[in-house]
Each structure stands twice: as C-alpha cells, then as structure tokens.
Amino acid sequence: MKKAAGSSSSTPKPTSWVLPYQTQNLREIYTMGKKLGQGQFGTTFECTHKATGRKFACKSIPKRKLLCKEDYDDVWREIQIMHHLSEHPNVVRIEGTYEDSMFVHLVMELCEGGELFDRIVKKGHYSEREAAKLIKTIVGVVEACHSLGVMHRDLKPENFLFSSSHEDAALKATDFGLSVFYKPGETFSDVVGSPYYVAPEVLSKHYGPESDVWSAGIILYILLSGVPPFWAETENGIFRQILRGKLDFESDPWPLISDSAKDLIRKMLDRNPKRRFTAHEVIAERLSEEEIGGLKELFKMLDTDNSGTITFDELKEGLRRVGCELMESEIKDLMDAADIDNSGTIDYGEFIAATVHLNKLEREENLVSAFSFFDKDGSGYITIDELQQACREFGLRWANRLRGICCNDEEGKRWHWEENYDEKQS
C-alpha cells in the first residue's frame, strides 16, 4: 500500500483529526474549480494542480458530518482502501489526501465521462456485446478487491465513472466509502448499500464478499434491460422483492437475449451465497454471443442434419473431415464427457459448456483440474498413453504446458502432479 501523498511528517493523531499525519494546505497546491457532484458525506469539485496545470477531482468531507470516532475511522479506511487499490487500471486513482480544521480532502483522478448510470439512462439498455465488455470490467474490479481482502459493499452504476466522453472510454470504480477490509470466512451484520443492489444476505445481516457479486449481477440485468430486476414503490417493497421476488426474463428485451447471458445472471443472483458464482467464475463465463461465434459455427458444421444435436456418427464424421484421427473408443469418450444429460447426443448447450470448460482449463490456476481431466483412471498419475491421448484431443501445446509443471517419474513412463511446484519456482 502506498503512503498518502501530501504527508510531510508523522505526528500523533489528534482526537478530532482523520489522518495520522499533518499535511500541507490544499489551497496552497490546488486551485479549486466547479462543483462536480454531491454525496452523502462529501462534495466533489474539480481542482487544478498549480505547478503542473493538471486537473483532478477533489472530494471534500466536512468534519461537522463526522459525529463519532467510527465516522472518522470510516474516512481513514476509505483512504487506505483507495491507496490499496490504486494500481488497478479500473479503479479511480487517489492522488493525495489533505486535512485542515474543517475538511478532509481526497484528491483523485478526474473522470470526465460521467457515470455509467447516466449512459444507461441515455441508451435505455446495452447490447449483449457492450454489456459483456462493461460487466467484465466491473467484475474484474470486484475480483481485484476480493483478492486484496476488500469488500466494496456499494456497487451500483452511479459508482462507476468513464475516464472520458469517448464511447470506448475506460470504466473506473469509485466511492469506497462503505468498503471494508475482511478476512476469509469473516461475516458482517451491518446493513449497508443501495436498495436496488443490496444482496438478500445483507438484509439478513449475515454476509461476506459474495454480496458484491449479487450487486454486479443486478448491474448486468440493468445493462441488458434498462430496469432493475427487483423494484417497488417503497424501500421495504424493494427489500421484499429482493428476498422473494422472481426474475423477469419474459418482458422485452429478454426474449431476444441469449440463454447464456440469462444463465449468467441467474448464477450471479442465486439467493444462496454459497452457490452463487464468485467474481473469478463470472470472469471465466462467456456472455457475448460474438465470443462464442466460432464455436457456434463449429457446432453447425458437426450437426449435419440440423437437428440441434450431435450424434456419435456426426461427431466421428466431423472429426474425420478436419483431419483428426481418433479411434472409435476415444470418440466415445469425448461423447460421454460432453453428454451431461446422458441422452446419447450432444446438444448446443453441452457442446458450448464442454469447449468453454476446456478453454478455462488453460488458465494457470486451473491446471490441477486439467491434470485430473487427463488422468483418466484417477490414479494420480498421467501415463504416456494418457498424455498422448491429451495431445490428440487438445494439441501439443497442452503437453508442453504440463511438462513445465509436472515431474518425470519411473524413467519417463508417467507424470505426477508436483504439489510444491509454486514454492520451488519462487
């Protein structure tokens, strides 16, 4: 974590001060400009650095609104968390912190493109392709927060800003005023957040970082439809809907939205936080039809009778046409692995799930799963025969990657997982 810019000494923290150090006077360094926004605790202004002419945003928090020690601690924690996350490209960067007898000032990167909320209002809703790009950024921020032990607790479109007015401007998270540090397994009971986006377990006063994924799922629903999934005329009505309401995938534009997008929303809005997707799993999912377009065409090529399913004979013939020489027993193994419902055929969903799953396995953190997949007999070893089969199925690059993280045993006859690989590399 970086030390706050603007600090010049490390004096003891006075009772009525937020920062544990003294700072220069903000107005000696910056010229204050127009008001940019108003929050519950602070007002944000544009400011200009006198020496360089660079423009920033300054969030000024009046101390008269800090009524107790916990309020002071909350502001200090917000500053710490922003520094903690400051290197992430999709988090608004904190430039410096300043304090005087009346205010605490947070000088931050200036994002001139406005809020995501405003763009949703202007557009009505986004296409799947556009929504996929935005939600991957949002969930990427959530994953970064969680990997660093931070829970945002107030994810909503108003708290994501575009760096500029350009259509393809970077999206950046802001306002960590409700964020907290947490330890694995730690739960919280204070009800915080914004009504439409709060997770059911927050309302039940027993929650953890999974609640951020729920909020991101609400944002995704809004990106695709333009309206929140759970709404009512009153706050209590909204909360009742969050606890018991049903997702509407029948109204426009949902009939035109892909099943994969709707399935992802269901997994992000599972009311059971233990079953809910993690931020990491959300990133691994495929949302955009464009992204799986190539697989869609491959499925059509294999499904020669356009029945919507691939039979054993169609799979065998399709593999032969693309020059893949597998024995019938090996093709049968492929069929069995992909045929989740044991129908004897592979439907489109099973085909996409199987191929996307293999794509996920290429990620470094999932190599243990890849090892298990190749270890056909579950012996804990990969034999030469199993490795050769893997080469035929997935290409030589799989074998090369496995060689990099597995160790030779019994004169090269088999490969076993080396559990301490990461430690040895470091």
DSSP structure class, residue 302: H
> 154, 303, 347, 375: which is the annotated catalytic residue?
154
d(CA 360, CA 72): 44
Cα 55 to Cα 94, 132, 402: the distances in Å are 13, 31, 50
Tokens of 392: 């035929």
Backbone angles phi, psi at 184, to 5 degrees: -55, 130
Instruction: Name the nearest CA neighbour of 109 among 55, 148, 181, 184.
Output: 55
| Residue 339 designated active-site | no
Half-sphere exposure of 234 (CA within 13 A, CB side): 3
* 63 annotated as belonging to a binding site for a ligand: no
Tokens of 173: 């998270």
Tokens of 258: 């892909």
Q: Which residues contact 422 (CB under 8 A, 6 or more apart)?
A: none
Backbone angles phi, psi at 309, to 5 degrees: -140, 155
| Dihedral, CA of residue 7, residue 16, residue 62 and residue 118, to nearest 10 | 70
- Binding site as annotated, residues: 59
Q: Which residues are catalytic?
A: 154
- Binding site as annotated, residues for ATP: 59
